[in-house]
Amino acid sequence: MVMNMIGNVLRYMRRKNNYKQSQISKITGVARNTVSQYETETIQPTFEMIERIAHECGYRVFFESFDGKDRFQSKDISRKEV
């Protein structure tokens, strides 16, 4: 279920910015076919790749608690906290 959402979100961000898959490919350094496979959920991108595509499209990936009291980005967490 989450996999379906990731592909749709990546496609949405790309299209919202009028990027072609080939443009995302050049920005991220992965093959255009790989970008397509991310979007069609044939393969799963790493979290780092999701963040990179989001950043290039003008978005941030963040986590928010259900009650809205806690919100953070992955860069806010140090390795020793995990």
- Angle in degrees, 0-180, between the axes of helices 47-56 and 21-28, rounded to the nearest 10: 110
How many Cα atoms sit within 13 Å of 70 on the Cβ side? 5
- How would residue 77 be classed by pLDDT, with cut points 50, 70 and 90? confident
Asked if 41 and 6 touch (Cβ cutoff 8 Å), the reply is yes
CA distance 18 to 68: 32
Q: pTM for the whole thing? A: 0.81
Domains assigned to the chain = 2-64 (1.10.260.40)
18-51 confidence digits (pLDDT tens): 999 999 999 999 999 999 999 999 999 999 999 9
In sequence order, what DSSP letters do the residues of 42-80 get, joined into one string? SS---HHHHHHHHHHTT----EE-TTSS-EE-GGGS-GG
Structure tokens at 2: 């989450």
